[in-house]
Structure 1
């Protein structure tokens, strides 16, 4: 079984003896259009800057982000991917306890554990996995804590309205809410859901975003958080210097200013996620969740088939998906696929159709060949 994060292509290819260049990776939800061309141009033009130490506070990138979301650069911290920031927050702010609503991004629990923070885990038992809407009272029942939430949620894709998050933030000033908006750039009408512009004005809200998923350069590692200046200053006391390299900073500035690329991406994802969702919906024995971003959670309805079996069969077709059985609250009935190009999406659908049909045929053959026992 291939668990852990998506995108572990090198490790998987070494294990299975495959060629990385031939793998279609549906396990990592990265922009299928790749990175903006301006990123390549700016990185090449400024490549000789690697002769010097990177700018420790990432001032230029912070200013670019601040302009984009209408806040001050003193409200922004840049990280070596959003993951660095998830570990920094509990380490620096030392909450009495952490709260998680599962299923959600696995690094949240690890970040709490790494700082020796006790974790209250709430399992979302609604079959449609709404993030907060049906669980806000359960979250409110825990005082004096730090809550990590994904919006849109990973791996389910469900969105939570801005007003529901703000209600939770306002309910208790001693409850710090950390919102992971890693995939928010992919969301249509994101103004209905994002609280990133609220964060600088509130005492108990932090918003974390990734720059590498939407802009297609996860190998560079780049993310940022937005909060009020008091929280930012506390976090900076614990943040290591020089964690963000020069090329990542250059790439980030170039990417976030490329509005044409952003518009083209949202248009492309809107079309392809609908195509892939409809294709998955047309297959027997599986039920995809309505997508809001560039990935789709799929539930296996046929109890004879597991996500591990489907994953291993797809590997024979050089297709990698995300087995979701290691997410708390999910099991071997769930897998996740990224939205890719039309050609790649069609290959996935064709392979799944054959695999699901083949699994059902084998099971029926086993039943037909089973001996009959006569009693009486």
Structure 2
């Protein structure tokens, strides 16, 4: 067990930009233990077991034969989504589309808020572009203020601007009217990209997407990810929506068979399983609120509002996320995303994928035992009467009489004090949770 755990944690220490793949972790860990994955942002409820059984039954044909052309698969996807195929380009994952957007459409500079998805900073830097990084303020819950971002773009002279909505890793959502206002103010740029890869998980408003606007604007692309929404990262499929001219430029550059037979099979299954997919999103939204509640009860742990299928958390002061990540994996079989290698973040932050409650209980138990030596009877309850998190005393908020000693390796040096109120338009989408987070 110890040797397998050492092999796994060595993979993280060798990774400089992204976490190691699940396959690499499985090979390194062997059969030592099952991993509960809070790192890769999948949809745990879709595809359904019946869909996986159907895919398994087709496995031989899927692996044996060529897929149809990307045009055929794109036309089917558009019939499901109600889009014009001339406005859509499908890629082998959203990362392929980001690569082609950079090569074809980004000139000398790109502006993007940070922290965010790493390919939006790494890809243009790899091709020699200037990347203008706009820091999202922790004091506002990492909310993006559109006016400040526009001022930043103007001051830097950026020719392309990108926002992720919801943003990764914090899950912050800019309402639709805010995105449209930003697009209006940046209509003179070469390109504005709205990455909506996680938007399907949001429930703050009925429809936050600006896909319908993108097809009418000369410089706007909306990026969507099917792998993240459907819980199928391994299939590698995503799409972009833009006016026919922009979409056509990207589509013309893509290889004819850039989509695999798994992607084709899933796309052609979607019409029959739309109800199950919609239900899966509701379950993730429910689990997100429950997970926010469970984690917010831990002393000194700050949980930021999220509309994605993940939560961004700040560890108690003095705790090291890399040390915690390794311990959770080696001792509890829980895999988390430590954000020390994300630009604009640090090892004090984790991104935790939303999972069902049984898995969350395992995570919380590991956090309790790793951050605080839990026992009953004696010792001091960390935070009672002094530590404020989200405007509540954690000694009261924990609610079950649990007391904590400090563990030196992960010791919270001092109480972080009360968190500032979060500024609108950032919100979790649930009024009760927003009041809790803002300390109202």
TM-score, normalised with respect to structure 1: 0.88
How far, CA to CA, are the matches of 2:62 and 2:170 in structure 1? Answer: 41
Give the deviation of 1:51 after TM superposition: 4.2
**Backbone CA RMSD of aligned residues:** 2.5
**Higher RCO structure (Cα 8 Å, ≥6 apart):** 1
Query: Please, which runs of 5 or more residues in structure 1 have no aligned partner?
Result: 367-376
Do the aligned partners of residues 336 and 168 (structure 1) sit closer, same or farther apart at CA in structure 2, a change above 3 Å counting? same
Partner of 2:285: 270
**Tell me, which stretches of 5 or more residues in structure 2 are unaligned?**
1-8, 374-403, 412-440
| 1:231 alignment counterpart | 246
Which residue of structure 1 lines up, in the alignment, with residue 37 of structure 2? Answer: 25
After superposition, the C-alpha distances for 1:60-119 in whole angstroms (9 at most, x for unaligned) are x32233234433111111111111101111111242311121010001122212333221
Matched, 1:362 2:407: yes
Which range moves more in the overlay, 93-102 or 256-265? Answer: 256-265
Name the counterpart of 1:178: 193
Q: How far is the alpha carbon of 1:239 from its aligned partner? A: 1.9
Corresponding residue of 1:322: 337
Bigger drift between 108-117 and 130-139 goes to 130-139
Residues 140 and 168, structure 1, Cα contact 8 Å, conserved in 2: no
Distance, in Å, in 2 between the alignment partners of 1:200 and 1:235 is 14
Whether the 8 Å CA contact 1:272–1:342 is kept in 2: the answer is yes
Distance in 1 (alpha carbons) for counterparts of 2:245 and 2:328: 49
Q: Which residue of 2 aligns with 1:117?
A: 129
| Contact 2:87–2:248 under 8 Å retained in 1 | no
> CA separation of 1:197/1:31 partners in 2, compared to 1, >3 Å: closer, same or farther?
same
- Number of the residue aligned with 1:372: none
Give the corresponding residue for 2:301.
286
**Residues 252-298 of structure 1 deviation map (CA, whole Å, 9 limit, x = unaligned):** 23236522112221221122111111111111121111232211100
Output the CA distance in 1 between the equivalents of 2:79 and 2:55. Answer: 20
Which residue of structure 1 lines up, in the alignment, with residue 142 of structure 2? 129
Cα shift at 1:233: 1.8
Q: Distance in 2 between matches of 1:364 and 1:248?
A: 45
Moved more, 49-58 or 277-286: 49-58
Q: Alignment partner for residue 204 of structure 1, among 209, 219, 224?
A: 219
Instruction: Pick closer, same or farther for the CA change 1:257–1:152 going to 2, 3 Å.
Output: farther
Aligned partner of 2:320 in structure 1 is 306
Please say if residues 184 and 190 of structure 1, whose CA atoms lie closer than 8 Å, have aligned partners that are also in contact.
Answer: no
Moved more, 275-284 or 92-101: 92-101
